[in-house]
């Protein structure tokens, strides 16, 4: 059984005259434990598709089924809870600027009142440990490199112990060496924590290095899907 199933999901944005379709009836299955890449040119609809998986964008039609539950059918409150199993990271990291690394990672736990006190601190330390930033707990994001910022964002996404990590161009703001290190972290999270990883990228090298399956998007549609064997793209 697929962990994520999209059924004929469509999304258009408001245009000047007519709606502009960004995703046109995409159906897709992502298996539990997979590292799944979504690749394609700028404007192909990759980011919209990713945001449809956690309902950051609400589909105009179609169903989004995660772990057997149709997210499009949930109440606001139930959706808020379901979303905690879908962590997300971004190209520009989206960290809180004026608080410490610790508080950035603690933020979702405080918002959702998941944990407090020592249990919260222990969870935060654990997540910082996973991304190799245990020693940066008291730093502010302005003091961090791009790679370190993305590690903090990953730790924050992991704080709620998600089943899925949605990654939107997570290495596009990073140099080659830092990219490699972040891909190592994502691979490690997939292997050790059994987190299913979905990654949007325009870089074929990222898909090659990391993914086991890939979908190619063009003009709002998935035009090709492939399994990647032994780091060889077999399209």
Binding stretches for ligand ADP (CB under 6 A): 13, 22, 40, 42-48, 100, 102, 116-118, 120-121, 137-138
Decide whether 163 or 197 has the Cβ nearer to ligand ADP.
197
Distance CA 208, CA 229 (A): 9
Shortest Å, Cβ 82 to ligand ADP: 22
Are 185 and 154 in contact by the 8 Å Cβ rule? The answer is yes
Decide whether 93 or 102 has the Cβ nearer to ligand ADP.
102
For residue 216, what are the contacts with CB-CB under 8 A and spacing of at least 6? 39, 40, 222, 223, 224, 225, 226, 235
SS3 106: helix
Decide whether 120 or 144 has the Cβ nearer to ligand ADP.
120
Decide whether 46 or 149 has the Cβ nearer to ligand ADP.
46
Decide whether 83 or 136 has the Cβ nearer to ligand ADP.
136
Record the tokens describing residue 67, joined without a space. 């772990």
The burial class, CB within 10 Å (0-12 / 13-18 / 19+), for 67 is middle
Distance CA 50, CA 74 (A): 19
Decide whether 153 or 163 has the Cβ nearer to ligand ADP.
153
Distance CA 186, CA 199 (A): 10
Shortest Å, Cβ 231 to ligand ADP: 24
Shortest Å, Cβ 15 to ligand ADP: 8
Decide whether 130 or 163 has the Cβ nearer to ligand ADP.
130
Distance CA 169, CA 89 (A): 8
Shortest Å, Cβ 116 to ligand ADP: 3
Shortest Å, Cβ 138 to ligand ADP: 5
Other Cβ atoms within 10 Å of 228 Cβ, number: 19
Helix intervals (H) in 96-165: 101-111, 117-130, 146-158
Shortest Å, Cβ 77 to ligand ADP: 23
Shortest Å, Cβ 47 to ligand ADP: 3
């Amino acid at each position: 059984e697929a962990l994520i199933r999209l059924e004929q999901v469509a999304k258009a944005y408001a245009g000047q005259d007519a709606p502009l379709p960004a995703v046109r009836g995409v159906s897709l299955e992502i298996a539990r434990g997979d590292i799944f890449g979504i690749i394609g040119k700028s404007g192909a609809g990759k980011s919209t598709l990713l945001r449809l998986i956690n309902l950051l964008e609400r589909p105009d039609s179609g169903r989004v089924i995660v772990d057997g539950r149709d997210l499009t059918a949930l109440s606001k409150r139930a959706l808020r809870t379901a979303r905690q199993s879908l962590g997300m990271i971004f190209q520009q990291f989206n960290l809180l600027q004026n608080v410490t690394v610790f508080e950035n990672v603690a933020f979702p736990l405080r918002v959702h009142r998941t944990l407090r006190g020592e249990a919260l601190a222990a969870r935060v330390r654990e997540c910082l440990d996973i991304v190799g930033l245990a020693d940066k707990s008291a730093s502010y994001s302005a003091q961090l490199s791009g790679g370190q910022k993305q590690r903090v964002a990953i730790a924050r996404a992991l704080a709620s112990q998600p089943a899925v990590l949605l990654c939107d161009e997570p290495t596009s703001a990073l140099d080659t060496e830092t990219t490699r290190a972040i891909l190592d972290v994502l691979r490690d999270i997939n292997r050790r924590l059994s987190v299913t990883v979905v990654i949007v990228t325009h870089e074929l090298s990222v898909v090659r290095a990391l993914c086991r399956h890939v979908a190619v998007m063009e003009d709002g549609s998935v035009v090709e899907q492939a399994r990647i064997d032994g780091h060889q793209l077999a399209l």
